[in-house]
Structure 1
Amino acid sequence: MTAASNGGAPEPPAVSRLELPPLAAYVHIPWCVRKCPYCDFNSHAAGASLPEDAYVQALLADLDADREQIQSRRLTSIFFGGGTPSLFSASALERILEGMRQRVGFADDIEITLEANPGTFEQAKFRDYRSLGINRLSIGVQSFQPAKLKALGRIHDGDEAIRAADMARAAGFDNFNLDLMHGLPEQSLEDALSDLRIAIDQQPTHLSWYQLTVEPNTEFWSKPPQLPEDETLWDIQEAGQALLAAHGYGQYETSAYAQPGRQARHNLNYWTFGDFLGLGAGAHGKWTAPNGQIRRHWKTRLPKDYLDPAKRFRAGNKQLARDELPFEFLMNVLRLTDGVPSLLFTQRTGLSLDLLAEGRRDAEARGLLEPDPQRLVATPKGQLFLNDLLQLFLP
């Protein structure tokens, strides 16, 4: 039956071999000390006080509304993102985690990550976070150089960023990520490599190293800074990747590098088309139903609306049609440098690999996809021209 003969509804995918994927949770805390000029995330400058209690209650009510999507699965990872989640007290995070544990349950080896900025670091506070079971930090450094930090609107300095890494270890975190940008305003190759060397010296287990892009609805969009030329950006990328590899940081995703065995499990679940609950103002999620339907959902964006019981929670949701699934799946998994086993396509979508055959042949002929029937993995050229590769699988 076609979509047209079915009253316009999308044809459901075949589900004979579909398996419910692992389940993670993303929890969005939308407040930060100050909005950065490059940031297009749903973040809002905090006032004199944060509505912690009201927001915790709203998050747990949000989770209650989504409980039917859990399907007896336990959470394999939780990621507190923002904004700046470390603005919340340990007691507020404890109530969130305990509520999630009671309602869903945690895998024995669950990974729980908290985003933090150096300017919000307090060692006693972070010891409390660690005692709650939060076992991974992601520290938003972006740069160690005063001029670059000023251009980015950051509220910390380079010394604070270094102290933050020291305090993370002192608080008991043996697994932490540093977020670092390159391609910053008027940045030279040596500037970028200097930042990267300082970051490596802090011995993080994971580095997110990504190029600054100017996004709509940001201050940088309306007042663009002077960014490096393309040739400089290419030199930074090549030299930086070589430096990271020389220090044992393997690239496993477009902008993610990790020591052996320290890849972010939350990220891997996302990029392998796993399911995740999206909790909090503006949060997005994805879930798979036992009948094979796959949906994306998103919550109301403004914190004041999210806190209003009459306006929360689900701003929208969309069922992915059968012909959209190949593109949606590949848009995620092809960001991974090693790709995924080909059979994961059927396990995650319930669809036959035959649906990818025509696009695969074209992609392999263009040198964008490796000619390995057992894996779906982009070639180095395909990684560089990922958008061109994905276009071959559009419905």
Structure 2
Amino acid sequence: MTHLGRFTWELSRLKFPLIGSILEQDDGGYNVEDCLSPGYIFHGREDLEDVPRGPFSQESIYYSSLASALLLQAEQLPMQHHILFAPLPVPQEYPDYATFYLAQMLWNDYAAVGNKPESSSNRMAYSLAAYYLRGEIVSHVNLPQSETSLGYPLCHHDLSTQNIFVDGDFNITCVIDWAFSSTVPLAQLLSTPGLPHPRDLTTDAALVHAFRSGFVEEAAKHNLPLPGWRHWEISDMVSRFMLLVRFDALQDYHHLHSLHQLAFGRSSSETDSLLAKLREISIHPDLLALSKTLQADDEPESEIKRRKTEYFSAVGKERLALAESIMQLSRPDPFFVVDKGVWTKLLDGYPVNTSGATTAEEAERQMAILRAHIGDILAAGFPQ
């Protein structure tokens, strides 16, 4: 990670007047043109007509355009595995492989009821998030104009373990696959790379320190200005912002919540919470109109029922009953978050033993035990 910090410093020295992709011209020169980075072309976004693509002369317009791309994703394009208020389980949240595996299966069941990813309620949730990012967050992630006047550095955008070559001593020898590279605001370049994949957020303090130390050491070696604390603070926000707008992460709600706290502080006031902000946005006339439009585009009830029947005929009616009971939590409160707390409460309180299960087959046996007790679980009042 220290070497990546040094590599990033080298990129920071390549400054261009605009934010966009660098394209070679017929005369052998280069121009900064429309931005072809992942946030503008992944997930079918290359066909969206109403997304400003640059080149951009201001950071705020660039960030706002990415939030607009997320909004149009929610309105028009497939939502894949994304459910804003039901973040996917990830291994780091659970004590062992089997518990994580069971949480994944329970999440799949929950997502299958009502085809949640593609539902108008989920699309509306992401629309609210996009409005929130554009209206509340963009102003917090801009560096002063006096600093951006020096130009915008080059960013790789796809730093993964597959694209980084190292020697026997783990020194970086080359970085490949620059297809999505573009110029970016400095704070975006300063974001600690997510490894092994760009969708991963690096939160380990030692890794973050190593990356930043590599950058600072290289800058100091050349007697050049060092980033201040505000640069690093904004880079923390930008890393989460980019995960959200690129639509490539697994736990969008947690990234959004963390971003809110970084921007506004960890206030204990309910009126200042992220969910309070989203509720406030939801009653804006534009959002109320959008909600009706999205509802009109929902799949027919017959198709939703067919999908549900097909899925649960394979995993069992007991798991359907459990998934529907969990779904009841969000009926009175559409902003209820179904996350690790729900799955942990279920798995910790009932007769499954995951400690010795290290394979998918062993985890499936524990799921069979859980399935056999679902009737008792519901009779006992879960998920209240």
TM class by smaller structure: under 0.3
Structure with the higher strand share, 1 or 2: 1
The TM-score with structure 1 as length reference comes to 0.26
- Look at both structures and tell me which one has the larger radius of gyration over its CA atoms: 2
The TM-score with structure 2 as length reference comes to 0.26
